[in-house]
Amino acid sequence: MKVIQLTPQDNVAVLVEPGKKGDRVDNIPDLVLQEDIPQSHKITLEDVKKGEPIRRYGVVLGYALKDFPKGSWINETSLKLPASPALDALHANPDFKEPQNIRPVKQNYFMGFANDPEFSEYSGTRNILAIHTTVQCTIGIVNAAIKKIKQDLMQKYPNVDDVIAINHQYGCGVAINAENADIPINSLRHLLHHPNFGGQIMCVSLGCEKLTPQMLLGDYCQPENLVILQEQHGFKGMIDAIYNMADKKLAKLNQRTRTKQPLSKLLIGLQCGGSDAFSGVSGNTSVGYAADMLVKAGATVMFSEVTEVRDGVQFIANRITTPETCEKFKEQVGWYDDYLAKAKVDRSANPSPGNKKGGLSTIVEKSMGSIAKSGSLEIKEVLTPGEIPSKHGMIFAATPASDLVCGTEQMCSGATLQVFVTGRGTPYGLAALPVLKVCTRNELKEKWHDVIDINTGSVLTDDTSIQDMGESICNTILKVAGGTQKPFTEQYGIYNDICLFNPAPNT
């Protein structure tokens, strides 16, 4: 039996496989399990008295609620949470030095779809006709029209990958001018400029919603871009109007072909969900190294999930070099603290039950694993939810931690590919961009062999280096971005609904 201790300061380690009471640990002398301990859960490496800190990642996960002899099981019932790091104590670090030993990429381009810079400075990884909507009421008609478009039109346009509906739940029955209503509205506006959509704007409106076409489309609110259902005659008239407009848009998109694009034109998002205690050992850590390689080569990479970085904000601030960026980071995290407080909840609402089954005892532990996917380089910019980056490099995009909302907001910020790390398993996917699924352990890959694209479990079991695994992930990202490999979510059409972040009230 093997355990993994991350730093010399840690007084717990995680089990690579489940253990029984009395089992001996092979790689730590005189360590014997005092009870049955599940895979990925923590074992004490020394006697811990009540009130003493439990450390992993070299940080305090919490304080022991009772005495724990050496070899004891530490789980979510074992610890009292420490206080969150104070935001006021955070400062930019102008002396931050990036590591210089990041491996170079073997390919400094990807085969992508170029865009007019007036539309987007990034290139697409896919060539998609997106039918935007102003309100959920239109979705039934739009879905019916897309079915007809795929049956009757798509064969004419071989260079177009898909036709999709932007099927959000927003648009009416909402306080459209309320405080924070700008978050979902701006997200939808920014989504119009998604690099995978090729500059072809098409929108379907009902005709009486609060989110008017003018409000959403702005200068794009022209007859050639807009179908208003209440102005059509019957079901056939609605379908025909959408179909005929789509035909014209598809003809223009079909003129796009893949060409060599510099990595400065690549924008990807990083997520994790269904996390376990291996996320910060194998999965996120390997993805973080791949992110370092891509950023060094000129790509832009974003990570997110405010509540899942909240207890490690000091490590993020240490990688921010300008006071302006640090202030925006503090502002976004502070806004979220207030948002949770108004609802009388706090960070203890995260982790989830599945996270706890996977060995994550507290949000501090989850935060440290989550941050690992951001790699080790300077953080160049902080984004509000759904905001489009203005800089290149590693970006923190402030979003909720919910997989569905985080994924949507990264998409609205322009991510053209997502890398999603999971320990427990999730089939999450999005229609607008490929989602590459990475797992933390061998058992999940064996169970979900045709859902998980990349398995980092050999980092735990076979001593594969983070550098080797990260480089392999980097190479796969470039294949997916270039269209020569499709992740399983794309092969099977495993697509979640779009879930905008809307903190404003419904009416």
Burial code of 336-367, b = ≥16 C-beta within 10 A, e = fewer? bbeebeeeeeebeebbbebbbbbbbbbbbbbb
Residue 274, pLDDT > 90, answer: yes
Residue 350, pLDDT > 80, answer: no
114: number of Cβ within 10 Å: 18
What pLDDT, on a 0 to 100 scale, did the predictor assign at position 117? 95
**How many angstroms separate the Cα of 30 from the Cα of each of 22, 33, 292, 361?**
11, 10, 38, 25
The structural domains of the chain, with segments of one domain joined by +, span: 1-82, 110-253, 267-492
CA distance 290 to 95: 24
Residue 345, pLDDT > 90, answer: no
**How many angstroms separate the Cα of 147 from the Cα of each of 132, 142, 163, 335?**
16, 9, 9, 42
DSSP, res 282: I
- Mean pLDDT estimate for the chain: 96
> What average pLDDT does range 260-288 have in this prediction?
97
CB–CB of 394/380 below 8 Å? yes
Which of 251, 302, 220, 266 lies closest to 113 in space, CA to CA?
266
Residue 347, pLDDT > 90, answer: no
CA distance 372 to 469: 14
Please count the helices (runs of H) and the strands (runs of E) in the chain.
Answer: 14, 20
Q: What is the pLDDT of residues 413-470, one digit of tens each?
A: 999 999 999 999 999 999 999 999 999 999 999 999 999 999 999 999 999 999 999 9
Residue reference for tokens 């706090």: 346
Top-tier CATH class for 1-82: mainly beta
Residue 349, pLDDT > 90, answer: no
What pLDDT, on a 0 to 100 scale, did the predictor assign at position 346? 76
Residue 232, pLDDT > 80, answer: yes
Instruction: Write down the CATH number for the domain with range 110-253.
Output: 3.40.1400
